[in-house]
Amino acid sequence: MSKGRYGIHGGQYIPETLMNELIRLEEAYEKYKKDPEFCAELEELLNKYAGRPSLLYYAEKMTKDLGGAKIYLKREDLNHTGSHKINNVLGQALLAKKMGKTRLIAETGAGQHGVATATAAALLGMECEIYMGKEDTDRQALNVYRMELLGAKVHPVTTGTMTLKDAVNETMREWTNRVNDTHYCLGSVMGPHPFPMIVRDFQSVISREAREQILKEEGKLPAAVVACVGGGSNAMGAFYNFIPDKEVELIGCEAAGKGVDTAFTAATIATGTLGIFHGMKSYFCQDENGQIAPVYSISAGLDYPGIGPEHANLHDTGRAQYVPITDDEAVDAFEYLARTEGIICAIESAHAVAHVLKIAKNYRPDQSIIVCVSGRGDKDVAAIARYRGVDIHD
Amino acid sequence: MINEKNKIRKAFDTPNKKAFIVFMTAGDPDADSTVRFVLEAEKAGADLVEIGIPFSDPTAEGVVIQDANIRALKNGMTTDGAFDIVRRIREQSQIPICFMTYCNPVFHYGYDRFFTRCEELGVDGIILPDLPYEEKEEVEGPANAHNVALISMIAPTSEERIQMVAREARGFIYVVSSMGVTGVRSEIKTDLASIVESIRQVTDVPCAVGFGISTPEQAKKMAALSDGSIVGSAVVKIIAAEGAGAAPKLHEYISAMKKAVEET
Q: Check whether B90 has a pLDDT greater than 80.
A: yes
* Catalytic hit among A21, A26, A76, A107: A107
Interatomic CA distance for residues A297 and A281, integer angstroms = 23
CB interface of B with A, residues 6-25, below 8 Å: none
Q: How many domains does chain B have?
A: 1
Is residue B3 situated within a structural domain? no
Is A179's CB within 8 Å of B179's CB? yes
In order of A37, A229, B122, B262, the CA distances from B13 in angstroms are 59, 54, 18, 12
How much is the ipTM here?
Answer: 0.96
The yes-or-no answer to whether A5-46+85-199 and A51-82+204-387 have a common fold is yes
Is residue B213 situated within a structural domain? yes
- How high is the pLDDT of residue B17? 96
- How high is the pLDDT of residue B259? 97
- Which of B137, B169, B163, B160 lies closest to A2, judged by CA? B137
The H or E element spanning position A316 is helix A309-317
Q: Which chain A residues touch B156 with a CB distance below 8 Å?
A: 17
- How high is the pLDDT of residue A355? 98
Q: From its phi and psi, is residue A162 left (phi > 0), alpha (psi between -120 and 50) or beta? A: left
Is residue B2 situated within a structural domain? no
Is residue B54 situated within a structural domain? yes
- How high is the pLDDT of residue A393? 67
C-alpha dihedral sign at A266, A269, A275, A276: positive
The H or E element spanning position A334 is helix A327-341
Q: Topology of A51-82+204-387 in CATH?
A: Rossmann fold (3.40.50)
| CATH label of the domain that carries residue B14 | 3.20.20.70
DSSP classification of residue A116: H
Is B56's CB within 8 Å of A291's CB? yes
Is residue B1 situated within a structural domain? no
Mutate to test the interface with A, among B71, B135, B159 (most CBs of A within 10 A): B135
In order of A70, A283, B116, B118, B138, the CA distances from B111 in angstroms are 50, 17, 8, 10, 8
Is B158's CB within 8 Å of A20's CB? yes
Q: Which chain A residues touch B109 with a CB distance below 8 Å?
A: 289-290
Is residue B51 situated within a structural domain? yes
Is residue B155 situated within a structural domain? yes
Instruction: Please give the biggest Cα pair distance in chain A.
Output: 56
Is residue B224 situated within a structural domain? yes
* Catalytic hit among A70, A74, A85, A281: A85
Q: What are the extents of the domains in chain A?
A: 5-46+85-199, 51-82+204-387
CATH second-level architecture of A5-46+85-199?
3-Layer(aba) Sandwich (3.40)
* Structural domain that includes position B211: 8-262
Q: Which chain B residues touch A279 with a CB distance below 8 Å?
A: 130
**pLDDT tens, position by position, for chain A (394 residues)?**
578 999 999 999 999 999 999 999 999 999 999 999 999 999 999 999 999 999 999 999 999 999 999 999 999 999 999 999 999 999 999 999 999 999 999 999 889 999 999 999 999 999 999 999 998 898 788 899 999 999 999 999 998 888 899 999 999 999 999 999 999 999 999 999 999 999 999 999 999 999 999 999 999 999 999 999 999 999 999 999 999 999 999 999 999 999 999 999 999 999 999 999 999 999 999 999 999 999 999 998 899 999 999 999 999 999 999 999 999 999 999 999 999 999 999 999 999 999 999 999 999 999 999 999 999 999 899 889 999 999 876 5
Interatomic CA distance for residues B84 and B68, integer angstroms = 19
Give the tens place of pLDDT for each residue, B210-233. 999 999 999 999 999 999 999 999
